Amino acid sequence: MRLHNFVAVLATSAFSSLAHAQISEQCVSSDVCYRLNIPASTARTGSGEIYLSIRGPTTNSWIALGQGSNGMDNANIFMIYTDGNGNVTLSPRHSRGETMPLYDSAVDAELLSGSGVQDDIMTANLRCNNCEGWQSNGRMDFTASSGGWIHARSSGGAMDSSDVEAPIAMHSSHGEFTWPFASAVGGASINPFAETNIAVNTTSGGENQSSINTEAVLWCHGVFASVAFVLLFPLGGVLIRVGSFPGLVWVHAGLQLFAWLLFVTAAGLGIYYGVIDDYMSQAHPIIGILLLGALLFQPLSGWLHHKRFIRTGGRSAFSYSHIWVGRVAILLGMINGGLGMQLSGVTTSYIIVYSVFAGIMGVAYLGAIGFGEITRKRERNTASNIHEMTSHKERATARRSSDA
């Protein structure tokens, strides 16, 4: 090979490795994607800048990508939201656990050109100069073959805030993934996302990727369980105490059975979410599972009580189990709903509305129990007084109409 040819080949390959930025893209939904470029020198030495891009529709109030493999424990998070002036706000944050990540001024990161809001899509191209190490000794090894990342976003209106410390609503969708670095390493560009000569390797929903729509699951869980415990269960309990009409037992049974199905569904959703998201050691899910266990046989005990009652006209062991398990479970469930809302961090106004409603239903229920027990005692006294006059059969028929 002639010398000038050799030099030309050398120059070309050197130049192309400079211009050829390798970009790895992870798409967690059809329109939310994250991109990563690790310049060759950072991959070789383990320290230096890296480049990240976050892109998604402005129907999200915020979108975030974080470094870390323990969920929200000690994660280094890049959050973006609209700034209200056609650009995005880059808010580097740190999270200690499953609470709102707070602004972290120790992160040395800046927005690059190409960032902005266009056609209802927000894009942040950014360079991070110290992403190999962050506070509380979180580290990411860019010489390794992969690293653990988390991502999340929150549906809702645009935030239009340039405040990097702006308070944010909880995520509506989130997940974790392992990012293989091989296809992200290469080049020495000062803004790889602005290059025309780039190689993008896209992975969507890779095998290590998990993403659940927590908003829908949580919403159904909270609403189903609340309807069961603050509306239907107490209503069924009140009815059997204060009502007296033919077929009352079956109205009670139907209502409670429907509420019971709602609760079992809600419990299933709660367990699914709690296991995936590691919440199962909290008071709320533990009380919930106790309730599920306690109420599992409630329809059966109710039915057995009824069968016994038809024959004897009085309370049996089944009755006491059915009545007392029911009473305790309903009141405990009402309280547990409040604990659930505390756990998920919903707005205080929701908790207030819930508490007022639960309070009214709880008092109405306790009132009905008191009223029912007093009436029952009085009826039994009357019944024994008129014992000589009325046949047993007639009395039983009269009392069976309420079954209580």
Ligand X SMILES: *[C@@H]1O[C@H](CO)[C@@H](O)[C@H](O)[C@H]1NC(C)=O
Name the site residues for ligand HEM (rule: CB under 6 A): 218-219, 221-222, 225-226, 229, 233, 236-237, 240-241, 249, 252-253, 256-257, 260, 267, 270-271, 273-274, 279, 284-285, 288-289, 291-292, 295, 298-299, 302-303, 305-306, 315, 319, 322-323, 326-327, 330, 333, 336-337, 340-341, 343-344, 346, 369, 372, 403-404
Interface with ligand X by CB under 6 A: which range of 5-13, 107-115, 222-230, 297-305? 107-115
- With CB under 6 A as the rule, give the number of residues binding ligand X: 11
Q: Which residue is nearest to ligand X (CB)?
A: 116
Task: Name the binder of 64 from ligand HEM, ligand X, none, CB < 5-8 A by kind.
Answer: none
Query: For ligand HEM, which is the closer residue by CB, 39 or 236?
Result: 236
Q: In 3D, which of 116, 177, 170 has the Cα closest to residue 148?
A: 177
Query: For ligand X, which is the closer residue by CB, 112 or 332?
Result: 112
Query: For ligand X, which is the closer residue by CB, 129 or 135?
Result: 129
Query: For ligand X, which is the closer residue by CB, 201 or 211?
Result: 201
Query: For ligand X, which is the closer residue by CB, 208 or 382?
Result: 208
Spacing of C-alpha 317 from chain mean position: 41
Q: Minimum CB separation from ligand X for residue 263, in Å?
A: 45
Spacing of C-alpha 160 from chain mean position: 25
Q: How many CB atoms lie within 10 A of CB 186?
A: 22
Choosing from 37, 115, 173, 402, the residue that interacts with ligand X (CB under 6 A) is 115
Per-residue 3-state assignment (H helix, E strand, C coil) for the chain: CCHHHHHHHHHHHHHHHHHCEEEEEEECCCCCEEEEEECHHHHHHCCCCEEEEEEEECCEEEEEEEECCCCCCCEEEEEEEECCCCCEEEEEEEECCCCCCEECCCCCEEECCCCEEECCEEEEEEEECCCCEECCCEECCCCCCEEEEEEEEEECCCCCCCCCCCCCCCCCEEEEEEEECHHHECCCCCCHHHCCCEEEEEEECCCCCEEECHHHHHHHHHHHHHHHHHHHHHHHHHHHHHCCCCCHHHHHHHHHHHHHHHHHHHHHHHHHHHHHCCCCCCHHHHHHHHHHHHHCCHHHHHHHHHHHHHHHCCCCHHHHHHHHHHHHHHHHHHHHHHHHHHHHCCCHHHHHHHHHHHHHHHHHHHHHHHHHHHHHHHHHHHHHHCCCCCCHHHHHHHHHCCCC
Amino acid present at 203: T
Task: Name the binder of 284 from ligand HEM, ligand X, none, CB < 5-8 A by kind.
Answer: ligand HEM
Question: Residue 109: beta bridge partners?
Answer: 128
Query: For ligand HEM, which is the closer residue by CB, 10 or 296?
Result: 296
Q: Is 201 in the site for ligand X (CB under 6 A)?
A: yes
Query: For ligand X, which is the closer residue by CB, 200 or 339?
Result: 200
Interface with ligand X by CB under 6 A: which range of 73-81, 112-120, 333-341, 380-388? 112-120
Distances (CA, A) of 171 to 34, 253, 300: 17, 39, 40
Choosing from 29, 47, 87, 162, the residue that interacts with ligand X (CB under 6 A) is 87
Distances (CA, A) of 359 to 71, 343, 366: 36, 20, 11
Query: For ligand HEM, which is the closer residue by CB, 134 or 260?
Result: 260
Q: Minimum CB separation from ligand X for residue 126, in Å?
A: 9
Q: Minimum CB separation from ligand HEM for residue 75, in Å?
A: 17
Q: Minimum CB separation from ligand HEM for residue 210, in Å?
A: 16
Task: Name the binder of 27 from ligand HEM, ligand X, none, CB < 5-8 A by kind.
Answer: none
Task: Name the binder of 113 from ligand X, ligand HEM, none, CB < 5-8 A by kind.
Answer: ligand X
Task: Name the binder of 218 from ligand HEM, ligand X, none, CB < 5-8 A by kind.
Answer: ligand HEM
What mask, x for binding ligand X by CB under 6 A, covers residues 145 to 184? -----------------------------------x-xx-
Q: Minimum CB separation from ligand X for residue 182, in Å?
A: 4
- Contact residues toward ligand X (CB under 6 A) are 86-87, 111-113, 115-116, 180, 182-183, 201
